[in-house]
Amino acid sequence: MYSKFTVFYFLFFCLIFSCKPKPKRVEVKVNQPEDPTMCYEIDENAPPRYLSPKLVAEIDAIKPDPTMSTNQSGMVFIKGGNFEMGGDNDQARKDEYPKVPTQVNDFWMDKTEVTNDEFAAFVKATGYKTVAERQIDIGELMSQLPAGTPPPPAEALEPMSLVFESPNQPVPENPAYWWKMVKAADWQHPQGPESSIEGKGNYPVVHVSWYDAQAYANWAGKRLPTEAEWEYASRGGKEGRIYPWGDESIESGPIKANFWQGNFPYLNEVSDGFERLAPVASFAPNGYGLYDMAGNVWEFCADWYHANYYPHRLKNKIVNNPFGPANSFDPDEKTIPKKIVRGGSFLCNDSYCSGYRVAARMKSSADTGLEHTGFRCVRDK
């Protein structure tokens, strides 16, 4: 998953030149220059890095709603246990290996992705404005781009988000060919200012960033799941299986999830009945009673993404309730810290992105909202 700023600059230059959280665990300060290829230990008392201090302070100030904080309706209790975390078949990518013995504690998890109605209730109660609805911070934008990159024009800093636009013919395998920056696209206007979520209250909320998901989780007295919790829950008790339902290919048998049928990104056969998003719980749940753990929308996790995290965990015997690496490293975009997203989306297809596998990992910058990204929350027992 590319940062919205990366896609923006591709388009810009083409145009010109033709949950109640636990105590926070954050990154340790080191007395040497940081090596982004290393995964440092986590220190609960160290100040956070990589995140916007302004947004972090605003989110931390959101207090749990008293009625939400004690409400377990719409959640499933997941009994903790042990499993092998990591890739299960030949579609697994390098960053899904090696498989790592992992243990998680008991927790509660939302049965479905957070819906438009649920997010609307949060916004009404708090007045919160999502990142996609805010002016882009020029300082934070330039800090994520290579030195010497010219700043964008003022109009490019207006509120906007990334919308999927299917090309009408085969194109190179580059997300910039099917993602479009659309001004005033946000959670209430998924395809732009003329679109609406009217009548779609039970659809997953999208165009939310990791910050927005954190804000909602604070208000709901919940938190975002760790990557380990998410994968354990997605497996639904089926140890070593490829998908939430088992090993049968997503292309075989009855439709099991909202995904892309046909040739991505230009031909969607819509065999599942949904061209884009589907209402939550439109398909059968997994063994734990969780819906849409494959397809529909990618889901943010609490953890930073690090390409070398699994080898680091195995080497350092990090087994019990891993909370993610202390720094972020994506070799494809070395200057942009990323958060983990899991579960695939309505755009996933075996020919391009088999993100609906239980072990599949993807990443997104914390400030990026897209038309196919949402979240669900967890709560400690």
pLDDT recorded at residue 20: 36
Report the largest interatomic distance among the alpha carbons of the chain, rounded to a whole angstrom.
Answer: 56
Placement of tokens 């330039």 in the chain: 142
Q: Structurally, how many domains does the chain consist of?
A: 1
- DSSP, res 106: -
Residue 40 CA to residue 15 CA, distance in Å, equals: 41
pLDDT recorded at residue 16: 31
pTM score: 0.89
238 vs 92, 218, 309, CA distance in Å? Answer: 17, 31, 24
pLDDT tens-digit readout, 187-221: 999 999 999 999 999 999 999 999 999 999 999 99
pLDDT recorded at residue 70: 85
Residue 377 CA to residue 93 CA, distance in Å, equals: 26
The kind and range of the H/E element at 212 are helix 210-219
Which amino acid is located at 310 in the chain? Y
Residue 320 CA to residue 226 CA, distance in Å, equals: 12
102 vs 48, 105, 225, 246, 309, CA distance in Å? Answer: 25, 10, 15, 20, 13
Indicate the burial class of 259 (C-beta count within 10 angstroms; 0-12, 13-18, 19 or more). Answer: buried
> Domain containing 373: what range?
4-380
Residue 215: other Cβ atoms inside 10 A: 26
Q: Is the dihedral of CA 184, 296, 70, 43 positive or negative?
A: negative
Residue 301: CATH number of its domain: 3.90.1580.10
- Residue 254: is the preceding peptide bond cis (ω within 30°)? no
Query: What does the block give as tokens for 344?
Result: 């695939």
pLDDT tens-digit readout, 288-303: 999 999 999 999 999 9
- Residue 33: is the preceding peptide bond cis (ω within 30°)? no
Q: pLDDT under 70 in the chain at which residues?
A: 1-34, 42, 44, 46-48, 144
